[in-house]
Amino acid sequence: RSISSRSGSADMLECLGMPLPLAEQEAMACLTATGFTFLFAPAYHPAMKAIMPVRGALGVRTVFNVLGPLTNPAAPPYQLIGAFSAEAAKLMADTLAGMPLERAFVVHGEPGWDEATPAGAFLLYDVRPGKVTELHRAPEDYGLSRCKPADLAGGDAAENADELLKVFRGEDRGAHRDALLMGTSLVLEVMGEVDNATDGVARAAAAIDDGAANAFLETLRAHFAGTAA
């Protein structure tokens, strides 16, 4: 849910037809049927559920923005995590290096965002067990043009869902598409699916251009339409 912005990822997914929160069996069924699922933190993380009202009331980033990803009960072997400051990114990376995982990327980007975007350069910590490597990257490393932060401004849940649909349908080839390409490239790289940034962008772009991304979204929506019938 939204804490410090107008809309969170859960809000947008609901607008796309995904009923949240998903019970454990529903989440597993979605993963099996579509290859994707969404675990709403308050439903699966008791500590996060207890403090969510406080976070919402404060409306600012807190220590829980650091603790949440580090205490993920799913214990994924690969992670891409955004940090709200360079200091928080280093703290999270050092902590992850002592945890049982395969690899993680922790990023903090210009102009002070907890993600890597075409709006500017970003700090990346490449984390493996017992080892943290500090890297610095820019949109140009991904073959992407820089944009203004305002070009990536989001709206409410419905507006953000509509923008995602436009990107997946090939109707928007601007900054939002580039941001999605960059994020997907990072995911592919941290999992070892590609060897470099540009290969990740090319693979992500192909999934949009050949209709695979939109087809996936329609499969996801059809899955929940069927379960609701």
pLDDT, position 1 = 46
Does residue 115 contact residue 82 with C-beta atoms inside 8 Å?
A: yes
CA-to-CA distance for 16 and 188, rounded, in angstroms? 24
Which contacts (CB < 8 Å, 24+ apart) does range 186-192 have?
186/80, 186/105, 186/107, 186/116, 186/124, 187/80, 189/105, 190/78, 190/79, 190/80, 190/103, 190/104, 190/105, 191/78, 191/103, 192/103
CA-to-CA distance for 227 and 229, rounded, in angstroms? 6
Centroid of chain to Cα 6: 16
Each of the 229 residues of the chain gets a pLDDT tens digit; together they read 444 456 789 999 999 999 999 999 999 999 999 999 999 888 887 766 677 677 667 666 777 778 878 888 788 999 999 999 999 999 999 999 999 999 999 999 999 999 999 999 999 999 999 999 999 999 999 999 999 999 999 899 999 999 999 999 999 999 999 999 999 999 999 999 999 999 999 999 999 999 999 999 999 999 999 876 5
CA-to-CA distance for 89 and 76, rounded, in angstroms? 18
Strand bridging mode 122-128 / 131-137:
antiparallel
- Which residues does 226 contact at the CB level (< 8 Å), separation at least 6? none
Strand bridging mode 78-82 / 131-137:
unpaired
CATH label, 9-228, candidates 3.60.20.30, 3.40.50.300, 3.40.1030.10, 1.10.3720.10? 3.40.1030.10
Extents of the domains making up the chain: 9-228
pLDDT, position 3 = 43
pLDDT, position 159 = 96
CA-to-CA distance for 220 and 216, rounded, in angstroms? 6
CA-to-CA distance for 174 and 181, rounded, in angstroms? 11
What single DSSP character describes residue 128? Answer: E
pLDDT, position 7 = 79
Instruction: Quickly count: other Cβ atoms within 10 Å of residue 151's Cβ.
Output: 15
DSSP secondary structure letters along 11-24: HHHHHTT--SSPPH
Strand bridging mode 103-109 / 122-128:
antiparallel
Say whether 143 sits in a helix, a strand or coil: coil
